[in-house]
Amino acid sequence: MNKILDKLNWRYATKKFDSSKKVSNSDLNTLLEATRLSASSYGLQPYHIFVVEQKNIRERLKPVSWEQSQITDASHLIIFANKPDFGEELVDNYLNNVSAVRSVPQEDLKGYSDFMKSNLMGLSHAQKDAWTAKQVYLALGNAMTIAAELKIDTCPMEGFEVDKYDEILGLADKNLKTSVVLAIGYRSGEDDTQHYPKVRYAQEKLFTHL
């Protein structure tokens, strides 16, 4: 079987991590750089990512995460926070970066700026929140795939109290909202879930070729 398929079959949502094992700085940096390189709509990356290793923070997060052991036992928590609201600065900041990286004069980017703003600025608050949260999941999927390539176990988690996370991490003042958590590390030998056969729909049921 293709090596990447082998690794995707190997990965699963890890329920019990071995708390004695840590992801190396080298592998962590590779994983974070791959996440940074993830696609997003217009390339805007309307989110921020917190990498949490400190025990005291994770101990505070565990009770508001349904007491799930992954919160404290995993090597690191990667917390993806979307921007629930934004104005023209989202586009302006991105294009300032484009101008600097590609040595393109700002005036040459005005047409693209106007195009993005015309599509985004009219969205309601709820629509902006939903759209930025979708961008987070593009980065999450990429992070999980690269983690599998590195033989790092992961568990994507939505089982937590968003408001409490935002309070503990101080996100309200940063125009950020916790969207999803990815626990990373190495599976415990006591996690029976690793032995379950992977259940997915067959290709003929999932895909339609036209």
Is 104 inside any structural domain? no
Which pLDDT score, from 0 to 100, does residue 184 have? 99
Is 24 inside any structural domain? yes
The pLDDT of residue 203 is above 90: yes
Is 117 inside any structural domain? no
Is 126 inside any structural domain? no
Is 155 inside any structural domain? yes
DSSP 197: P
Is 8 inside any structural domain? yes
Domain holding 172, by residue range, is 3-35+46-85+132-206
For the stretch 55-104, pLDDT in tens is 999 999 999 999 999 999 999 999 999 999 999 999 999 999 999 999 99
Cα torsion 121, 100, 37, 163 to 10°: value is: -40
The pLDDT of residue 123 is above 70: yes
| CATH number for 27 | 3.40.109.10
pTM of the entire structure? 0.96
Taking residue 93's Cβ as centre, other Cβ atoms within 10 Å add up to 12
Q: How confident is the model at residue 1 (pLDDT cuts 50, 70, 90)?
A: low
Is 122 inside any structural domain? no
| Total structural domains within the chain | 1
Mean pLDDT (the chain) is 97
Q: How confident is the model at residue 24 (pLDDT cuts 50, 70, 90)?
A: very high
For the stretch 141-190, pLDDT in tens is 999 999 999 999 999 999 999 999 999 999 989 999 999 999 999 999 99
Is 90 inside any structural domain? no
